[in-house]
């Protein structure tokens, strides 16, 4: 029985790639140094999988930024502003597309389906001259082969590539991106030809858009594309991999009807109903790559349950045609549990990171082949039983409190217009008030202080003194820049979710459980293992300290319950998990987190904090992939946010923040959150957020569409920011518009932040003057 891994984490067990990338970007190391680190990581990954007995090992899943940008490079689809003149795409062009440079902005970045991973959105139009401009897929296949590992090269499928793209600036929004299929397929054929010549026997096309709500025209594009590629693929075994959700009946029929395809990869973890489609009919002689090991969570697989599922599938597809696989790429989970030295033994026994999931996949494959490792399966069963019976998982008081929430919609008593009037009387802010989103640059010295405090190398008094000094520096800088509503900069926090999870019961934490978010940015998601509550205040001391340093309003900074949920590794042990696609198991936990944040909000208000920001950066990210499930998710997600602040006074201004997603389709749910002010990503996505207001949606609360992109080192000019504010004023009322960056500033350097914020404030003042003179 064979085994397969869809993809593997790239950063390395100790984030080796992250540090190599940042060293290269800072011009402290060469391209050759970066390539050497990358080659060593790839070699280690391939060897690890080969040693574990995996038969179908992927290549070309390693990336210096993201796999969609790699596909853009392969196709030579470089926007003209980057000045690329043909030839093999090098690092300067590649990273300019991803991060921008001194003269041009980066391409849009958005979330990869419903994950916290991001990708660079291709910008396409009828005039793009596609060309074979990156040989990475072939080069990495040859590299693995030279090491004695025969891999399955992985490409982003041609139809998913186009469906994940957007019309370039100046191209009609109605332009059919799928009309470009005839232009990109010849390049795919060139890649396929080179892979065949290099000795590849399998090729994997990732077509995850098949799990979306597709119309007949879009589904027909898959049929047409693979019919066109059929002759080029002759002699190769072809795997089409889908993941993250169930396939619709129509999508499944399209998938199994594709010409020239040998195998189908299905997510049987999140695609809980897809197995019924397989039972109803699976093409004879084809392979099923059964994704039974979860690629998006860190819980040990229930091997007995998975083996039972696989045995049922074996009866349908045939013993020699069933391949055990992960549900999706392991990119979305942490690297190796071996590196976790501080997790207690009980919780550790419940977990499996990427390295352990590779072992699970192979153990299941061997069991199906009659070589079951009885000791391994027995240990797994014991861990599953321990988790079900552990008293640390259940808190009946918390469960009762969360259950009681369902009888009310938890709205504030006064409408937002009246609240804004009351808040303005108290805060006395100017027109176009300026603020930032929360975090300020995390310097090496600041990181050292936090690290040494956690390691008990400095005292608590010295730690508090150092953090207070950092807060004072940030407050003084904001006053010097003349920002209206201040933040304390979050120097005590390495990560917005990790910080809160560390102080809530029901959470566990890793030392090296890093997961890539985008580029070199890694996050360390907390693990929610049980019922959640707040034992004591979490932020009141730091917010009060910061407010004591200034007469200006100081925002209390919190992470909202939906974002904590979506950016954590979430429980999968509630009985209602079988309804996962309706998110029933998730909302129970979300309500518990909402109650904890509600306690914190009310304590901040009592401490004299008049502006409280409750970030819901990931609310859109958690939206189910199929529209039939949207309403239920949005109902409980929006309700959870309202729970957090339903008890505050009218004069307390509640902000929220959202970043890097498409919000237009959920704008009415955003309005229903009933926040006083929302700050929201806008600049990197070509200001498409503003289009929803041009189309007539009325928004009465305060709103701050980001005026510049913080994920790029580029510093925007005052004129550029003023022009952007003017575009906003064309569709939004002057009295509700705020001026702010797109997101927090922790990933930037002060040398970038100071001039950018200075220009932002200057632009706001310029517009205030112009508005006053126009009266």
Whether residue 116 is annotated as binding a ligand: the answer is: yes
31-51 and 354-368 helices, crossing angle to 10°: 30
* Residue 258 contacts residue 229 (beta carbons within 8 Å): no
Residue 716 has which token pair?
């925007």
Instruction: State the Cα–Cα distance between residues 41 and 139, nearest whole angstrom.
Output: 15
Instruction: State the Cα–Cα distance between residues 186 and 650, nearest whole angstrom.
Output: 61
Whether residue 530 is annotated as binding a ligand: the answer is: no
CA-closest candidate to residue 737, choices 699, 708, 774, 709: 699
Pairing mode of beta strands 515-518, 521-523 = antiparallel
Whether residue 437 is annotated as binding a ligand: the answer is: yes
* Residue 211 contacts residue 245 (beta carbons within 8 Å): yes
Q: What is the reported pLDDT for 662?
A: 67
| 130, HSE (Cβ side, Cα atoms, 13 Å) | 22
Query: What's the DSSP call for residue 497?
Result: H
Whether residue 299 is annotated as binding a ligand: the answer is: no
Whether residue 615 is annotated as binding a ligand: the answer is: yes
CA-closest candidate to residue 266, choices 295, 287, 289, 248: 289
* Residue 360 contacts residue 352 (beta carbons within 8 Å): yes
Q: Which regions of 174-257 does DSSP assign to beta strands (E)?
A: 202-206, 237-241
Residue 21 has which token pair?
């990338």
Distance from the Cα of residue 239 to its chain's centroid? 26
* Residue 478 contacts residue 439 (beta carbons within 8 Å): no
Instruction: State the Cα–Cα distance between residues 494 and 148, nearest whole angstrom.
Output: 41
Q: What is the reported pLDDT for 581?
A: 39
- Domains 2-389 and 415-774 belong to one CATH topology: yes
Instruction: State the Cα–Cα distance between residues 471 and 548, nearest whole angstrom.
Output: 11
Taking CB atoms within 8 Å and a gap of at least 24, the contacts of 419-422 are 419/650, 419/653, 419/676, 420/676, 420/701, 420/702, 420/736, 422/650, 422/651
Q: Which regions of 550-706 does DSSP assign to beta strands (E)?
A: 555-559, 611-615, 653-658, 677-680, 702-705
CATH 3.40.50.300: does it fit domain 2-389?
A: no
Only one residue has tokens 């860190």, namely 298
Pairing mode of beta strands 237-241, 202-206 = parallel
CA-closest candidate to residue 171, choices 126, 233, 216: 126
Instruction: State the Cα–Cα distance between residues 313 and 309, nearest whole angstrom.
Output: 6
Residue 76 has which token pair?
């030579």
Q: Which residues, in sequence order, are CB contacts of 184 under 8 Å at separation 6+?
A: 75, 130, 158, 161, 162
Instruction: State the Cα–Cα distance between residues 567 and 522, nearest whole angstrom.
Output: 12
Q: What is the reported pLDDT for 649?
A: 97
> How does pLDDT run across 335-360, given as a tens digit for each residue?
999 999 889 999 999 999 999 999 99
| Catalytic-labelled residue, pool 4, 118, 655, 711 | 711
Query: What's the DSSP call for residue 65?
Result: S
Q: What is the reported pLDDT for 688?
A: 66
Range 399-437 burial, b when 16+ CB lie within 10 A, else e:
eeebeebeeeebebeeebeebbebbeeebebeebbbbbb
Instruction: State the Cα–Cα distance between residues 555 and 736, nearest whole angstrom.
Output: 18
Instruction: State the Cα–Cα distance between residues 540 and 546, nearest whole angstrom.
Output: 10
Q: What are phi and psi of 341, to 5 degrees?
A: -100, -10
Whether residue 88 is annotated as binding a ligand: the answer is: no
Report residues of the chain scoring pLDDT below 50: 576-584
Whether residue 743 is annotated as binding a ligand: the answer is: yes
Pairing mode of beta strands 57-59, 166-167 = unpaired
Q: CA geometry: angle at 314 spanning 309 and 316, to 5°?
A: 105
Whether residue 672 is annotated as binding a ligand: the answer is: yes
Instruction: State the Cα–Cα distance between residues 749 and 740, nearest whole angstrom.
Output: 17
Q: What is the reported pLDDT for 261?
A: 98
DSSP codes of every residue in 668-711: HHHHHT--SEEEE--TTTTTTHHHHHHTT----SEEEE-SS-TT
In the chain, domain spans: 2-389, 415-774
Query: What's the DSSP call for residue 658?
Result: E
For residue 368, how many other CB atoms are within 10 A of its CB?
A: 21
DSSP codes of every residue in 133-194: ---HHHHHHHHHHHTT--EEEEEE-HHHHHHT-EEPTTS-TT--GGGGHHHHHHHHHHHHHH
Compute CA distances 354 → 5, 221, 241, 301, whole Å. 10, 34, 19, 12
Instruction: State the Cα–Cα distance between residues 772 and 775, nearest whole angstrom.
Output: 6
* Residue 612 contacts residue 601 (beta carbons within 8 Å): yes
Whether residue 302 is annotated as binding a ligand: the answer is: no
Whether residue 646 is annotated as binding a ligand: the answer is: no
Q: What is the reported pLDDT for 585?
A: 66
Instruction: State the Cα–Cα distance between residues 454 and 442, nearest whole angstrom.
Output: 16
Whether residue 410 is annotated as binding a ligand: the answer is: no
CA-closest candidate to residue 140, choices 34, 58, 59: 59
> How does pLDDT run across 598-612, given as a tens digit for each residue?
999 999 999 999 999
91-99 and 16-25 helices, crossing angle to 10°: 100
Rounded to whole angstroms, the maximal C-alpha distance in the chain is 83
* Residue 622 contacts residue 666 (beta carbons within 8 Å): no
* Residue 346 contacts residue 365 (beta carbons within 8 Å): no
Helix (H) or strand (E) holding 106: none
Instruction: State the Cα–Cα distance between residues 313 and 349, nearest whole angstrom.
Output: 28
Residue 255 has which token pair?
């998938």
Instruction: State the Cα–Cα distance between residues 356 and 542, nearest whole angstrom.
Output: 39
Whether residue 522 is annotated as binding a ligand: the answer is: yes
- Catalytic status, residue 118: no
Class of domain 415-774: alpha beta
For residue 513, how many other CB atoms are within 10 A of its CB?
A: 26
Pairing mode of beta strands 263-267, 237-241 = parallel
């Amino acid at each position: 029985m064979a085994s397969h891994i869809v993809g593997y984490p790239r950063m390395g067990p100790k984030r080796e790639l992250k540090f190599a990338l940042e060293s290269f970007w800072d011009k402290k190391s060469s391209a050759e140094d970066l390539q050497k680190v990358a080659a060593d990581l790839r070699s280690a990954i391939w060897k690890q999988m080969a040693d574990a007995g995996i038969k179908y090992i992927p290549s070309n899943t390693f990336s210096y930024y993201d796999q969609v940008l790699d596909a853009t490079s392969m196709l030579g689809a470089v926007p003209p502003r980057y000045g690329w003149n043909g030839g093999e795409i090098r690092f300067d062009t590649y990273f300019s597309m991803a991060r921008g440079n001194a003269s041009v902005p980066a391409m849009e970045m958005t979330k990869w389906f419903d994950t916290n991973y991001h990708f660079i959105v291709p910008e396409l139009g009828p005039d793009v001259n596609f060309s074979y401009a990156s040989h990475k897929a072939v080069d990495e296949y040859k590299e693995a082969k030279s090491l004695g590992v025969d891999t399955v090269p992985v490409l982003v499928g041609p139809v998913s590539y186009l469906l994940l793209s957007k019309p370039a600036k100046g191209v009609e929004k109605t332009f059919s991106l799928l009309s470009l299929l005839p232009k990109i397929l010849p390049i795919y054929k060139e890649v396929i030809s080179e892979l065949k010549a290099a000795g590849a026997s399998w090729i994997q096309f990732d077509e995850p858009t098949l799990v979306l709500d597709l119309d007949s025209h879009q589904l027909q594009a898959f049929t047409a594309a693979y019919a066109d590629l059929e002759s080029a693929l002759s002699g190769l075994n072809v795997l089409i991999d889908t993941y993250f959700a169930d396939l619709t009946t129509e999508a499944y029929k399209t998938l199994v009807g594709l010409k020239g395809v040998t195998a189908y990869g299905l997510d049987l973890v999140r695609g809980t109903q897809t197995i019924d489609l397989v039972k109803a009919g699976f093409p004879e002689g084809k392979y099923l790559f059964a994704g039974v090991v979860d690629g998006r969570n860190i819980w040990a697989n229930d091997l007995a349950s998975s083996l039972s599922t696989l045995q049922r599938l074996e009866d349908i597809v045939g013993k020699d045609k069933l391949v055990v696989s992960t549900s999706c790429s392991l990119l979305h989970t942490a690297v190796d549990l071996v590196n976790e030295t501080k997790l207690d033994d009980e919780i550790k026994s419940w977990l499996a990171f990427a390295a352990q999931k590779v072992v699970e996949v192979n153990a299941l494959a061997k069991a199906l082949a009659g070589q079951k490792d009885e000791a391994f399966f027995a240990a797994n069963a014991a861990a599953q039983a321990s988790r079900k019976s552990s008293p640390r998982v259940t808190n009946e008081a918390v469960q009762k409190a969360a259950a009681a929430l369902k009888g009310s919609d938890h709205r504030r008593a006064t409408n937002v217009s009246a609240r804004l009037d009351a808040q303005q009387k108290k805060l006395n802010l100017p027109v176009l008030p300026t603020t930032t989103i929360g975090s300020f640059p995390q310097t090496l010295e600041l990181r050292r202080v936090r690290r040494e405090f956690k390691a008990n190398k400095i005292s608590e008094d010295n730690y508090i003194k150092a953090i207070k000094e950092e807060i004072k520096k940030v407050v003084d800088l904001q006053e010097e820049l003349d920002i209206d509503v201040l933040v304390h900069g979050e120097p005590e926090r390495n990560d917005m979710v990790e910080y809160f999870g560390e102080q809530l019961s029901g959470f566990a934490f890793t030392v090296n459980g890093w997961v890539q978010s985008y580029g070199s940015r890694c996050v360390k998601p907390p693990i929610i293992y049980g019922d959640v509550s707040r034992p004591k205040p979490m932020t009141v001391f730091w917010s009060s300290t910061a407010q004591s340093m200034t007469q200006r309003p100081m925002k209390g900074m919190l992470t909202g319950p939906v974002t904590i949920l979506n950016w954590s590794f979430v429980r999968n042990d509630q009985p209602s998990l079988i309804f996962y696609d309706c998110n029933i198991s998730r909302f129970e936990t979300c309500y518990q987190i909402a109650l904890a944040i509600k306690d914190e909000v009310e304590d901040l208000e009592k401490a004299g904090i008049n502006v409280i920001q409750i970030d819901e950066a990931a609310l859109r990210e958690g939206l189910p992939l199929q529209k039939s499930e949207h309403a239920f998710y949005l109902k409980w997600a929006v309700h959870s946010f309202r729970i957090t602040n339903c008890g505050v006074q009218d004069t307390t201004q509640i902000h929220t923040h959202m970043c890097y997603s498409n919000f237009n389709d959920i704008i009415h749910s955003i309005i229903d959150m009933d926040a006083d002010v929302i700050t929201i990503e806008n600049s990197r996505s070509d200001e498409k957020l503003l289009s929803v207001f041009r189309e007539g949606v009325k928004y009465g609360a305060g709103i701050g569409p980001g005026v510049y992109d913080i994920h790029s080192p580029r510093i925007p000019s005052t004129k550029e920011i003023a022009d952007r504010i003017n575009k906003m004023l064309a569709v939004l009322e002057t009295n509700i518009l705020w001026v702010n960056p797109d997101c927090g500033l922790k990933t930037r350097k002060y040398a970038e932040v100071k001039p950018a914020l200075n220009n932002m404030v200057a632009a706001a003042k310029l517009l205030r003057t112009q508005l006053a003179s126009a009266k």
